[in-house]
Structure 1
């Protein structure tokens, strides 16, 4: 159970509140235009996104993790190497589709935050694709099982995730509906499916990324 600003002691209650509050923030990020101010393709930009999404829930929002993390048998970059790994990722090229996916895979391996890495990094990926290629991902067109398996294999072989993402790229980069449905699909990968982002009300206070 992660410590949280809401003082919640139940994993179920925390998951519900996290989905609702962070989806509200994701909606606000787009509708306020603040998403256009995010630094594209850097750890700093990813931290801006993460902080904006999770600021109502966790004190560590936007901050590098201080614990080692693993998923199954896969260990993400150890804390002692994380700072240097993120600096290296910042310097990776991002001019082509292959460049961008390679950078995305490396950021996933780095896994810089204690929680919420996937949700923040998928927004970060779309911003990269939008700026460099004039395209974004139509996430509802991605099969969840195929995506998760491809991401699991991507540190060794990225062909699968490249194929999956390439097939659902769209030039409709300013479509609000695509963004909102993309947030819902992104959250569904992590098991969060109680709320539809577009239907949630806004936050009372605004905080810049």
Structure 2
């Protein structure tokens, strides 16, 4: 199934290529133009801003909470009827330590607020949150991709693994463009392995 898009593309591979090219350019703009500097770290409003920035030229739903239920494998993300409440709860979660930040990251992943592009948006949201709260970011080149995927799949039940996988890759190079761009590439790898199913309401 090809998502309705502003580009008029009806081929899934063509859409994936266009989406990656455009959203990566927009992600670079977030960094180079310091567009997140005035945004509050760790809140859904900032995540929505990131999502809209990345996808506003591709999807009409950019920055908007999804209106379909979604599953991945046997896991069901937050139902639409409870999604707003889930996001309000996540906003109120503490975020002053590494463990609290990763717990919040896992909860936001389980909420999965957008129809498409959650992983990419959340990667940048996490970087902004880590930088603001503890003066560090993740150097994704030091994260084993398979370990990350397995840890994220198990995170709804046990978040210790994802904490371990990411903690060992933290760095204080928060303004390093190369590390930032590696994070963008990582998020595409993660979402490339995502197989979502939706239920139209």
The two structures share one fold, judged by TM-score above 0.5: yes
Counterpart secondary structure, 2:40:
coil
State the SS of the aligned residue for 2:192: coil
Q: Normalising by structure 2, report the TM-score.
A: 0.93
Structure 1 stretches of 4+ moved >3 Å:
none
Partner of 1:70: 71
- Preserved contact between residue 41 and residue 90 of structure 1 (Cα < 8 Å): yes
The equivalent residue for 1:138 is: 139
Pairwise CA distance, 1:187: 1.2
| Distance in structure 2 (CA, Å) of the matches to 1:138 and 1:161 | 14
Match of residue 6 from structure 1: 7
- Partner in structure 1 of residue 117 of structure 2: 116
| Inter-partner Cα distance in structure 2 for 1:171 and 1:184 | 20
SS at match of 1:61: coil
* Larger deviation, residues 28-37 vs 6-15: 28-37
- 2:152 corresponds to which residue? 151
Is the 8 Å Cα contact of residues 123 and 183 (structure 2) preserved in structure 1?
A: no
Please report the TM-score for the alignment, with normalisation by the length of structure 1. 0.90
Is contact 1:38–1:49 with CA below 8 Å preserved after alignment? Answer: no
User: Which residue number in structure 2 is paired with residue 165 of structure 1?
Assistant: 166
- Answering whether residue 182 of structure 2 is matched by residue 185 of structure 1, we say no
Query: How many residues of Structure 1 are paired with residues of Structure 2 in the alignment?
Result: 192
Aligned to 1:60: 61
C-alpha deviation, 1:113, in angstroms: 0.2
Aligned to 1:30: 31
Check the 8 A contact 1:139/1:186 in 2, yes or no.
no
Distance 1:62 1:135 in 2: 26
Q: 1:191, 1:64 → 2: CA distance?
A: 21
Q: What is the aligned-residue RMSD (CA, Å)?
A: 1.0
Deviates more, 1:1-10 or 1:34-43: 34-43
What's the CA shift for 1:5? 0.3
C-alpha contact 2:26 2:54 (8 A) present in aligned 1: yes
Q: 2:83, 2:111 within 8 Å by CA — same for their partners in 1? A: yes
Unaligned runs of 5+ in 1: 193-209
| Structure 1 stretch displaced more, 71-80 or 175-184 | 175-184
Q: By how many angstroms is 1:105 displaced?
A: 0.5
> Displacement of 1:77 after TM fit?
0.3
**Structure-1 separation of matches of 2:138 and 2:186:** 11
Q: 1:166-197 CA deviation, whole Å, 9 max, x = no partner?
A: 000001111111101221122122239xxxxx
Question: 2:191 and 2:77 mapped to 1: Cα distance?
Answer: 17
CA contact (8 A) 1:86 1:107 kept: yes
